A and B are shown apart, each in its own frame.
Chain A
Amino acid sequence: MTILVIAEHDNASLKGATLNTVSAAAKLGGDVAVLVVGAGSGAAAEAAAKVAGVAKVLVADSAAFAEQQAENVAAQIVAVVQASGGAISHVLAAATTFGKNVLPRVAALLDVAQISEIVGIESPDTFVRPIYAGNALATVKSSDSVKVITVRTTAFEAAGEGGAAAVEQVAAVADLGLSKLVGRELTKSARPELGAAKIIVSGGRGMGSSENYHRVLEPLADKLGAAMGASRAAVDAGYVPNDYQVGQTGKIVAPQLYVAVGISGAIQHLAGMKDSKVIVAINKDPEAPIFQVADYGLVADLFEAVPQLTSAV
């Protein structure tokens, strides 16, 4: 039984989410192989070989994989699974926008179901996953020959270093030529990534404007070394870019400390942050639902409380 983990990378380095996926894979029992589909991705492959618990690294290298479009990457994964002659029993990727984009294609091409965003593993064919914005947890059993799974990274620890896996090249599939990259606008930030941050400071519609969001929250985030997040309302209103959104349909986070400022606590928002270890809510409305999940609630005007907090920490 071989568990194939799909590496998420930018050719030069491995993304942190891959480490959590390796930990989930290790829980299944069996050999963990990491597949790096990339273009000039030797450095990412070497990083994967050093991850504890990885038995083998497979590398498929082609210019067609440079931009990581779903069509070519999925075709490559399917080719690797089929070439294994049944040895590969599971295909795992992180439930990031990359994994969510690629893995359902793999499942469909293999004619199997995908099990989305698992948070627990009961046995090699039985998994726990949240449904209805995390208001229910379903235990599902798969009858398919190959299990195709996306992993909620916050539910599994990151694997450490210490591996010394062999790196093996595999034949790259032909370019399907269906899609081409026009450009990317990536948010540049010196702050930690939302998904991996220990502390997150998050602002909602209560911030009132983009200017306020940055003026009030950034000094606090700077002092705490925190990542910055937002509610959908704040993103929709243009205070911050889309990749700040925390929630059912944005990013799922579980930091040590989540500070929710001017966020009411709609179920869609709670779905993305209620597994945080400690939640602090600052809101002027004592009835705001966010207080129901907060460990520490402060009813106050954020424009007074946040600067005070910034100077006190």
Chain B
Amino acid sequence: MKILVPVKRVVDYNVKVRVKSDGSGVDIANVKMSMNPFDEIAVEEAVRLKEAGVATEVVAVSCGVGACQETLRTAMAIGADRGILVETDADLQPLAVAKLLKALCDREQPQVVICGKQAIDDDANQTGQMLSALMGWPQATFASKVAVGDGKATVTREIDGGLETLEISLPAVVTTDLRLNEPRYATLPNIMKAKKKPLETVKPADLGVDVTPRLTTLKVVEPAKRSAGVMVADVAQLVEKLKNEAKVL
């Protein structure tokens, strides 16, 4: 059984981005880039399924600029067997990414695709669901537990009121939530090994996909800053302020 894991290169979660002064976007030149944390969780889950003998091959896919190769190498250092880069300089929106992934699913025929639930840059939370819809497959989003076997998967999902467990037929798309697993650190020998694993590059045109954006960004601004607060000396002063100044008690 083959598992496909889409991995996105994003601004590292520790970086606080700055909005460009001309309002055209955020400044991501020279900032640290990493694999989207939810995608690390996805790779980890796929690799564990392989180690458990459920999966036979884990294929990582990244869509974007040439530097996404680094993200694919990271996935392979965690344990993915090979990588596919869909190389483009275009501004990729979730529908376009989902279409690229669909083309690869048609070619690779995975039984399970494990995506992150959201990318922490654009916070769209769409791609996995869109891919699932385009394939006509079931989906189990926001997964905190995944068991795969016998043409189906049982997935526990984090929902607003608590947890929900679904049984879905395969092939299917699963998207990861934070508590699915704790990704391992890639060891140096595995990082070295990853450099020799196969990495194929294709272009959106090779896959017959039009990636033209449907949304145009008109401007990007900083949110209004909160006005500076005050430090209070003790609980008595805090309660006094909440009652008389903020009037929330």
Q: Which A residues lie at the B interface, using CB under 8 A?
A: 69-71, 74, 96-98, 100-109, 111-117, 126, 130-144, 178-187, 195, 199, 224, 232, 235-236, 241-243, 248-249, 251, 256-257, 267-268, 274, 277-280, 291, 293-300, 305, 308-309, 312-313
A140, chain B: closest CB distance, angstroms: 5
CA distance A243 to B161 in the complex (A): 6
| Distance in Å: Cβ of B81 to nearest Cβ of chain A | 28
CB distance from B125 to the nearest CB of A (A): 5
Known: A108-B130, A134-B223, A136-B223. A186 touches B242 (CB 8 A): no
Chain B residues with Cβ under 8 A from A141's Cβ?
Answer: 215-216, 218
Closest CB in chain A relative to B243 CB, distance in Å: 9
Judge whether A268 and B19 touch: CB under 8 Å: no
- How far apart sit A310 and B152, CA to CA, in the bound complex (Å)? 50
Nearest to A141 among chain B residues (CB) is: B216
- Interface size for B (C-beta < 8 A) is 79
Contact of B95 among A112, A186, A232 (CB under 8 A): A112
**Across the interface, do B13 and A268 meet the contact criterion of CB distance under 8 Å?**
yes
Asked whether A184 and B216 contact (CB < 8 A) given A133-B123, A137-B223, the answer is no
A to B contact number (C-beta, < 8 Å): 251
Q: How far is the CA of A195 from the CA of B226 in the complex (A)?
A: 21
Complex CA gap A235/B179 in Å reads: 9
Query: Which residues of chain A are near B133, meaning CB under 8 Å?
Result: 74, 104-106, 108-109
Q: Is the CB of B232 within 8 A of A296?
A: yes
Is the Cβ of B165 less than 8 Å from the Cβ of A297? no
Q: Per DSSP, are chain A's interface residues mostly helix, strand or loop, or mixed?
A: mixed
Decide: A187 near B218, CB < 8 A? Known: A71-B139, A232-B178, A248-B123. Answer: no
The answer to whether B218 touches A108, judged by C-beta atoms less than 8 angstroms apart, is no
Q: Contact at B162–A108, with CB atoms within 8 Å? A: no
B162 and A187 contacting across the interface, CB-CB below 8 Å: yes
Determine if A309 and B166 form an interchain contact, defined as CB atoms under 8 angstroms apart. no
Q: Which residues of B contact A71 (CB under 8 A)?
A: 138-139
Q: Which residues of A contact B230 (CB under 8 A)?
A: 295-297
Residues on the A chain within 8 Å of B179, using CB: 235-236, 242
Q: What 3 A-B pairs come out closest when comparing CB atoms?
A: A178-B138, A104-B129, A108-B130
Q: A113-B93, A186-B161, A296-B230 are in contact. Are A135 and B123 (CB under 8 A)?
A: no
